Amino acid sequence: MSSIDAPRVAEFLARRLDGSVELGRPLAMLTTYRLGGPAAVYVEPASQEDVIELGDALKELRDRGIHVPVLSIGRGSNLVVSDRGWDGLAIRLGNAFSWIEAVPGNAVALVSGAGTPLPLLANWAARRGLAGIEFLIAIPGSLGGAIRMNAGAHGRELVDCLSTAQILSFQTLQLSERRVGQLGYSYRTSNLTEDDVVMQAELHLKSQDPDVVRERMDEYRQHRAATQPGALQNAGSVFKNPPSDYAGRLVEAAGLKGFSVGGAAVSELHANFFVASARARAQDVYDLVHEVRRRVLDQFGVELVPEIRFAGAFDGGSANERSDVDHRRAAG
């Protein structure tokens, strides 16, 4: 049973928002793992004004003593939702936030909505001879999620090409434009929280022959196809690379390629990718991640930090657990 009064919350939000508000929306198919249960309340805003209104509505609920945990989904490419689901509000920025525009007066910049798929963004730039975000072709996420985690591949990260991001805080209800230096970026992390919703961002690029840009992007595609288990259910890299080493090397050196828990297994192709079979549960992925972490720590003294997020209640974890919470719990 949900600890929030989901029907009451959903009814309250539906009166305020133009977008979709649903009770018990299954989240599995909104993630690349295709695992997990429903959200108590699911919202897909229809516009930027809808997101602002949602923030105001959540504040009004808080003022009434009703605290609703918020989970931002994006394209679900680094998310594992509990089999029991998410006991709160799940928000996903859909098609209304998937757009790309040139910046007037700046031939090497673009502005894009947070819901824009990263491969779409990379292709848009390549067609126009704009270089610098080819690496996004290898990341199956959205721009908002990439900004939140400073996504990267092939030696580049979002911090290398981001100029500004427009952020709405559900805590302060302030809509602000933050420069890249204000986002607290480091390797695969930022200072953004689940109460911060990325709305749009401006990227700075450079001019280059479109054929050269396309050739480099094709190389990244081919590399991904040859080294990553793209045809199977997974969430990309499971662990952040520790300083001066690679998570995949450590997992493989621990003899864990092919190691499985239930229906989840360490990929035989790349040891920092965990794949899920048709019989897998979200709990299997959670248990596999924690068992691999334990074994690598025991053998090499290196504590791997998950890149993927866990949302909801897992056996052995805390209720409505997310990866930042999980890291502190496991480290303590």
- Residues marked as catalytic: 188, 237, 307
Tokens of 8: 């009451």
User: How is 308-327 classified by DSSP, letter by letter?
Assistant: SEEES--TTS-TT--HHHHH
- Strands 79-81 and 156-157, sheet pairing: unpaired
Phi, psi of 207, deg, nearest 5: -80, 140
Distance CA 13, CA 124 (A): 35
* Beta strands per DSSP E along 195-271: 196-204, 206-207, 260-261, 264-266
Contact 69, 311 (CB under 8 A): no
Do the strands 130-131 and 206-207 form a parallel or antiparallel pair, or are they unpaired? antiparallel
Cα–Cα distance for residue pair 72/89, rounded to 1 Å: 9
Q: End-to-end distance of the chain based on CA atoms, in angstroms?
A: 30
